[in-house]
Amino acid sequence: MGKKLYSDEELLNRLREFASELGRPPSQNEMNESGTHAAKTYADRFGSWNEALKTADLETGTNEPNGRPATPKADLLVDLKSVAEIVGEAPSERTYRSYGKYSVKTYCKRFGGWNSALRAAGLEPNVELNLSEEALIAALQEFAEELGRPPTTDEMDQDGPYTSDPYKRAFGNWNQALQRAGLEINYTRNVSEDTLLSELKRLSEELGHIPRKEEMQDQGKWSGSVYQKRFGSWNEALTAAGFEPNTRWRIPREGLLTELRELAEELGHPPTTGEMIKHGEFTTQPYRRVFGSWRTALQAADPDYLDDYRQSNTETVPFGSNWPQIREEIITRDNESCLRCGMGREAHRDKFGRDLPVHHRIPRRRFYNDPDRSVDDADVPSNLLTLCIPCHRRLERLPVQPVVD
């Protein structure tokens, strides 16, 4: 299947437009995720990614592959220690991806590996380094049984008992780990582009909209990364299938924060990156672009988040010890419908893909660190009401209502 050809100037203009919307030169990952063309397209055409930036007059004067200044090692170590303080232990690679400011790959590249970075920060190396082959195989087999098929590396990194990294260290590569566990190897190199595109169109018909990369990951036959490698980027795969490129990364800052707060209230705790991908309206990518890291986005949505996290042994405490049960009681009390517009629970689930929110008239943060009230006082029935997502968003912009005892 032949690919469309573009002139050098067309490629450069699209690169400049993308940089203008971001407010800075894009990284290769950003270009692959949301750009019109893949970073490899530019590297092949202009010799390298940095040469493409230079030709487009976007050079930053650094030799970093993503066009950004190199982050000082001291800054990397400070953030690593900060995350360790938050979670109460030396963070694993997966934990750091959720709360850290920088890329795990940056640490591995600058320090020679994740555990070397932990040692440089004065932290004990991650225990995953010392896992036996038997323990790794048993965990992999159990996860495969849970999924009903052999997991991909993306699935292992996101939801598995361990990341894929200790498997690659122990067995050489992911397919060899699958083979040692007696599982079928994930071969994708022999799958034709037409077959990949047919699966993309099938999922689109099933969902009723153009799939996101994460939806392909969760519900498609192959992961989104397979499409990215084969077509250069997710957007180029969408274009090849006859779909409009995904532009959801242009979501306004306040829209991202509103969605994050609503999902946190629905879950009863600040969402993890995995929970945002699974339950949220957006992926975590636009949050990382706008705020720099997932942790910074959580802080922007709730300035008290980090203090409350440090003071609690679990993420659920700041939302009230019995929040899931209370939330269900409030929705039942309100006849399983929005009190402002009357939208029912099932209709809401069908339309928005999630349950009705329960709103706090007085925000939870006003009960934190109050010597006269506990956080559980935020969850009294008189302070709670059931709303649909649109009404909840409108009400969040109104003045706070007093609680009637």
Spatial contact of 31 and 18, defined as CB atoms under 8 Å apart: yes
Sign of CA pseudo-dihedral 76, 81, 87, 92: positive
From 37, 40, 41, 39, select the one nearest 14 (Cα to Cα). Answer: 37
- CB-facing half-sphere around the CA of 160: CA atoms within 13 A: 27
Tokens of 203: 């999922």
What is the per-residue pLDDT for 400? 38
Count of CB atoms situated within 10 Å of the CB of 339: 16
Strand partners, 344: 337
Helix (H) or strand (E) holding 183: none
* CA–CA dist 147, 151 (Å, integer): 7
Contact between 285 and 33 (Cβ < 8 Å): yes
Looking at this protein, which amino acid is placed at residue 169? R
Tokens of 400: 């706070």
Taking the C-alpha atoms of residue 382 and residue 246, their distance in angstroms, rounded to an integer, is 42
| Residue for token pair 């047919």 | 198
Q: pTM above 0.85?
A: no
pLDDT for the residue 333: 93
Distance CA 100, CA 178 (A): 30
Dihedral sign, CA of 184, 188, 194, 197? positive
User: What is the pLDDT tens value at each position of the chain, 405 positions in all?
Assistant: 344 457 888 888 888 887 876 677 887 777 776 677 778 788 888 888 888 888 888 865 444 444 455 678 888 999 898 888 877 788 887 778 777 777 777 787 788 778 888 889 998 876 555 677 888 898 899 888 887 788 877 677 767 777 777 887 778 778 888 888 988 776 666 678 888 899 889 888 887 778 877 677 667 777 777 787 788 777 788 888 888 766 555 677 888 888 888 888 777 678 877 677 667 777 777 787 788 778 888 888 877 665 554 444 333 334 555 777 888 899 999 999 998 888 899 888 777 767 888 888 777 666 665 667 766 777 888 888 898 877 776 666 544 344 333
pLDDT for residue 395: 65
For residues 360 and 363, what is the distance between their CA atoms, to the nearest angstrom? 5
Which helix (H) or strand (E) segment is 101 a member of?
A: none
Question: How high is the pLDDT of residue 331?
Answer: 93
What CA–CA distance (Å, rounded) separates 111 from 73? 9
